[in-house]
């Protein structure tokens, strides 16, 4: 590579462009590199794409020297190449000497300018596949085919497009947002302007019900057929050896028809249904097999579940964020905050953990870029320390990010507990993530003291806060069947009543976490308080009550609660508060609201020397209590607890300064 690359002068803001020479689709890729200055750049187009891992079978020729390139880039060049004229591009994998660490760092610092000064940004999604051409053609041109956007076929085709890797990578955000003159998006040989693509994306999100409706209609029609006399006669001839719980059958019926499933089949009571299941085991086992297949294995089912998976892979409001970010930076000429970017891109990824931050630098202020060094030579995690320090010191609501971007501290080096893990995603199945724990006092319009600081050597974080007390009881939630869950819930309810005086928030409301902020959900079907009463009545084996409770949606309530409790712990404090915490909470820990953090933190007393951290005590050597953040909690509030918090505000004796390391 030494013969291909010549050193760049960072003081002159130099970079390279490449000339893609003309050729037919299957010809060898021929390129020429040119050094330019961003102070007075010539016209070039910037390419935004995902590198990929697989190497192309034939290397490109750069200055007549062979250079291996990835298969993704090879395909992109073949689609971008003109047959008769050259094309000038900026492509990071080639225009930056990837083997020169210093050059990489310097080019990252000017990446925003590279895309800002380009004539346009070309967003390459990949070759055509799975009828992507049909979806892209509906977006191309001056008039969009909005009628086609309402169809099931478009939903499936556009979903496949959104599953492409470009929509999951952090670097592409600034590449899209900063590109001027209407970035263009290409898939196969069809290119569309970004406004049309975003409009189609919005329609796709609004019409998710199209996929759900197809799935549900096929599910219901197929299960309805199993209640015909001819189907039942045929099913009874088949010997079934599988043993299936009634609750599983009830669950499938509820998934098919809804909570009022008895109204859709020929039974009036749960007892009648249970009796028929017992007397006609063969036909019900056959029907259960059909329901399971409809639920997961048909084409409509696979499409439905894949659509739900997309919500985890691509941030739900990602298209809104991209539009907002572009409007803020390009039209209003204002930078974004780290908090805004991180909330909008939480699920996006990068191969190198450092790039989760470096990929945002073109979107933030000049001050932020100056204070956050680009150093690929250091441990990746240390990029997070100056970033979090900047967020705490310069973004008023930034400390709340710690209650979102939290996981087990798996870093390889001693690392401050007050620094967010910027690499994680919002995963509802991760018990260590506090994302779905409801923020304590989050809806209160109280004036929290805004006192927070980071030490000069970036080892400690100090902030005002208020304690919910020291933990005196910890009860880990155990895995088990419905009865085991109810049994433990009963014991926990007794603990809550023992330690929480006054009028308490219902325990079920705490245990469904963020879901209790949805009035629509609380009004749907049987009220949640009735479901909870029925659920607790299952203990002891009341047959029909138990079956009826589960069949009527109590199982659904339990599922909601298990999303919050699974793998986590119930706790009680000496101040009379109870709640749910991420794993690892211990007796003696303090649960406290650190003002600005929204979610209650679990704080554990530590000695700096035990963590290998050297700190400077600024008060002349007086005793200072240090804590590490060990997790986050959701606190059940009571009338007495709320009065305590309200009366304590503004009282210095109730407000504590916590120092986290």
Residues 505, 487 share a domain: yes
- Token pair recorded at residue 191: 């290119």
Q: Are 589 and 471 in contact (CB under 8 A)?
A: yes
pLDDT at residue 237 greater than cutoff 70 = yes
Residues 131, 239 share a domain: no
- Token pair recorded at residue 187: 């898939």
For residue 652, what pLDDT band results from cuts at 50, 70 and 90?
A: very low
Residues 576, 518 share a domain: yes
- Token pair recorded at residue 262: 């008895």
Residues 243, 173 share a domain: no
Give 476's DSSP letter. Answer: E
For residue 97, what pLDDT band results from cuts at 50, 70 and 90?
A: very high
Phi/psi region, residue 278 (left: phi>0; alpha: psi -120 to 50; beta: rest), is: alpha
Give 608's DSSP letter. Answer: G
Residues 237, 153 share a domain: no
Residue 320 within any structural domain of the chain: no
Reduce the secondary structure of 425-440 to three states and give it as a string. CCCCCCCCCCCCCCCC
Using CA atoms, how far apart are residues 11 and 16, in angstroms rounded to an integer? 14
Looking at the chain, the whole-number percentage of residues with pLDDT higher than 90 is: 46
pLDDT digits (tens, 9 = 90+) for 481-521: 666 777 777 777 777 777 776 555 666 666 665 444 455 55
The pLDDT value given to residue 537: 64
- Token pair recorded at residue 588: 């003696």
Q: Are 496 and 636 in contact (CB under 8 A)?
A: yes
> What are the residues whose beta carbons fall under 8 Å from the beta carbon of 616, sequence distance 6 or more?
455, 456, 457
Tokens 């606190």 found at: 635
Lowest mean pLDDT among 74-88, 189-203, 418-432, 465-479: 418-432
With H, G, I as helix, E, B as strand and everything else as coil, classify residue 280. coil
Which residue, 273, 297, 321, sits at the end of a domain? 297
Rounded mean pLDDT, 50-57: 88
The pLDDT value given to residue 216: 95
pLDDT digits (tens, 9 = 90+) for 627-646: 989 999 988 765 455 555 55
Domain count, the chain: 3
Reduce the secondary structure of 65-106 to three states and give it as a string. EEECCEHHHHHHHHHHCCCCCCEEEECHHHHCCCCCHHHHHH
Rounded mean pLDDT, 556-585: 82
The pLDDT value given to residue 512: 65
Q: Are 62 and 43 in contact (CB under 8 A)?
A: no
Residue 28 within any structural domain of the chain: yes
For residue 526, count other CB atoms closer than 10 A to its CB: 16
Residue 435 within any structural domain of the chain: no
pLDDT digits (tens, 9 = 90+) for 361-383: 999 999 999 999 898 888 877 88
The pLDDT value given to residue 620: 45
Rounded mean pLDDT, 94-122: 94
Residue 148 within any structural domain of the chain: yes
Tokens 């997961």 found at: 296
For residue 71, what pLDDT band results from cuts at 50, 70 and 90?
A: very high
Rounded mean pLDDT, 173-190: 92
Using CA atoms, how far apart are residues 519 and 512, in angstroms rounded to an integer? 13
With H, G, I as helix, E, B as strand and everything else as coil, classify residue 392. helix
The pLDDT value given to residue 442: 43
Residue 118 within any structural domain of the chain: yes
Residue 639 within any structural domain of the chain: yes
Using CA atoms, how far apart are residues 410 and 219, in angstroms rounded to an integer? 44
Residues 215, 197 share a domain: no
Q: Are 246 and 274 in contact (CB under 8 A)?
A: yes
Query: Can you point out the beta strands (E) in 565-661?
Result: 569-573, 578-581, 590-594, 600-606, 626-636, 656-660
The pLDDT value given to residue 48: 96
- Domain of residue 90 covers 10-206
Beta pairing partners, 470:
590
Residue 194 phi/psi, 5° resolution?
-60, -35
pLDDT at residue 133 greater than cutoff 80 = yes
In terms of Cβ atoms closer than 10 Å to its own Cβ (0-12, 13-18, 19+), residue 623 is exposed
- Of 460, 336, 440, the residue nearest 389 (C-alpha): 460
- Of 640, 597, 654, 581, the residue nearest 589 (C-alpha): 581
pLDDT digits (tens, 9 = 90+) for 438-454: 655 444 445 666 778 89
Residues 219, 154 share a domain: no
Q: How many helices (H) and strands (E) does the chain have?
A: 27, 17
Residue 432 within any structural domain of the chain: no
Residues 188, 75 share a domain: yes
For residue 549, what pLDDT band results from cuts at 50, 70 and 90?
A: very low
> What are the residues whose beta carbons fall under 8 Å from the beta carbon of 474, sequence distance 6 or more?
569, 570, 571, 585, 586, 587
Give 363's DSSP letter. Answer: G
Lowest mean pLDDT among 21-25, 169-173, 429-433, 600-604: 429-433
Residues 45, 148 share a domain: yes
Q: In terms of C-beta distances under 8 Å and separation of at least 24 residues, what long-range contacts does 534-543 make, across chains too? A: 535/486, 535/489, 536/486, 536/489, 536/490, 536/493, 538/482, 538/483, 538/486, 539/483, 539/486, 539/487, 539/490, 541/483
Using CA atoms, how far apart are residues 276 and 269, in angstroms rounded to an integer? 11
The C-alpha torsion from 568 through 571 and 577 to 578, rounded to 10°, is 50
Residue 267 phi/psi, 5° resolution?
-125, 145
Tokens 């009036």 found at: 268
With H, G, I as helix, E, B as strand and everything else as coil, classify residue 343. helix
**Higher confidence at residue 413 or residue 151?**
151
pLDDT at residue 139 greater than cutoff 90 = yes
Residues 115, 25 share a domain: yes
Residues 235, 96 share a domain: no
For residue 390, what pLDDT band results from cuts at 50, 70 and 90?
A: very high
Which residue, 297, 317, 335, sits at the end of a domain? 297
Using CA atoms, how far apart are residues 634 and 431, in angstroms rounded to an integer? 13
> What are the residues whose beta carbons fall under 8 Å from the beta carbon of 507, sequence distance 6 or more?
489, 492, 493, 496, 532, 636
Which residue, 185, 206, 227, sits at the end of a domain? 206
In terms of Cβ atoms closer than 10 Å to its own Cβ (0-12, 13-18, 19+), residue 581 is buried
The pLDDT value given to residue 539: 38
Residue 59 phi/psi, 5° resolution?
-70, 160
pLDDT at residue 550 greater than cutoff 80 = no
Residue 366 within any structural domain of the chain: no
| Pairing verdict, β 656-660 and 461-476 | antiparallel
Residues 201, 236 share a domain: no
pLDDT at residue 304 greater than cutoff 90 = yes
């Amino acid at each position: 590579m030494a013969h291909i690359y010549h050193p760049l002068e960072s003081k002159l803001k130099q970079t390279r462009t490449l000339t893609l020479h003309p050729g037919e689709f299957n010809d060898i890729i021929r390129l020429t590199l040119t050094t330019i200055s961003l102070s007075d750049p010539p016209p070039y187009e910037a390419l935004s794409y995902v590198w990929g891992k697989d190497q192309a079978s034939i290397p490109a020729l750069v200055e007549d020297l062979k250079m291996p390139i990835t298969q993704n880039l090879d395909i992109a060049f073949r689609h971008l190449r003109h047959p008769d004229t050259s094309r000038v591009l900026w492509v990071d994998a080639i225009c930056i000497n990837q083997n020169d660490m210093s050059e990489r760092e310097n080019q990252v610092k000017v990446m925003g300018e590279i895309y800002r000064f380009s004539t346009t940004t070309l967003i390459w999604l990949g070759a055509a596949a799975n009828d992507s051409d049909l979806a892209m053609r509906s977006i191309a041109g001056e008039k969009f085919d909005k009628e086609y956007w309402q169809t099931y076929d478009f939903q499936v085709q556009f979903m496949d497009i959104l599953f492409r890797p470009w929509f999951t990578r952090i670097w592409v955000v600034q590449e899209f947002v900063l590109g001027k003159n209407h970035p263009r998006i290409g898939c196969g040989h069809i290119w569309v302007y970004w406004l049309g693509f975003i409009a189609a994306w919005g329609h796709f999100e609004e019409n998710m019900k199209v996929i759900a409706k197809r799935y549900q209609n096929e599910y219901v029609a197929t299960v309805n057929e199993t209640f015909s006399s001819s189907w039942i006669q045929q099913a009874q001839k088949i010997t079934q050896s599988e043993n299936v719980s009634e609750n599983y059958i009830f669950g499938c019926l509820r998934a098919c028809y809804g909570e009022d499933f008895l109204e859709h089949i020929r039974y009036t009571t749960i007892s009648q249904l249970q009796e028929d299941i017992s007397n006609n085991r063969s036909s019900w086992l056959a029907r259960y097999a059909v329901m399971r297949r409809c639920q997961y294995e048909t084409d409509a089912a696979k499409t439905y579940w894949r659509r739900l998976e997309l919500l985890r892979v691509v941030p739900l409001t990602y298209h809104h964020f991209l539009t907002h970010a572009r409007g803020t930076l390009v039209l209003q000429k204002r930078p974004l905050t780290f908090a805004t970017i991180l909330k909008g891109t939480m699920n996006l990824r990068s191969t190198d953990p450092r790039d989760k931050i470096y990929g945002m630098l073109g979107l933030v202020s000049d001050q932020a870029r100056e204070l956050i060094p680009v150093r690929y030579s250091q441990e990746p995690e240390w990029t997070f320390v100056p970033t979090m320090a900047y967020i705490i010191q310069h973004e008023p609501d930034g400390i709340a990010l710690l209650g979102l971007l939290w996981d087990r501290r798996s870093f390889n080096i001693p690392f401050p507990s007050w620094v967010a893990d910027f690499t994680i995603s919002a995963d509802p199945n991760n018990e260590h993530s506090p994302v779905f724990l409801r923020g304590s006092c989050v809806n209160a319009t109280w004036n929290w003291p805004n006192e927070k600081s980071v030490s000069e050597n970036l080892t400690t974080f100090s902030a005002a806060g208020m304690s919910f007390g020291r933990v005196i009881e910890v009860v880990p939630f155990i895995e088990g069947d419905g009865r085991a869950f109810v049994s433990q819930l009963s014991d926990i309810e007794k603990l809550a009543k023992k330690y929480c005086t006054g009028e308490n928030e219902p325990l079920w409301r705490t245990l469904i976490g963020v879901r209790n902020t949805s009035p629509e959900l609380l009004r749907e079907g049987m009220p949640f308080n009735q479901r909870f009463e029925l659920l607790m009545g299952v203990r002891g084996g009341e047959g029909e009550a138990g079956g009826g409770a589960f069949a009527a949606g109590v199982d659904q309530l339990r599922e909601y609660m298990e999303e919050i409790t699974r793998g986590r712990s119930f706790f009680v404090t000496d101040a009379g508060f109870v709640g749910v915490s991420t794993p690892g909470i211990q007796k003696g820990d303090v649960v406290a609201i650190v003002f600005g953090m929204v979610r209650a933190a679990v704080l554990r007393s530590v000695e700096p020397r035990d963590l290998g951290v050297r700190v400077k005590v600024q008060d002349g050597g007086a005793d200072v209590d240090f804590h590490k953040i060990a997790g986050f909690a959701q606190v059940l509030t009571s009338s007495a607890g709320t009065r305590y918090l309200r009366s304590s505000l503004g009282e210095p004796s109730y407000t504590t300064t916590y120092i986290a390391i």
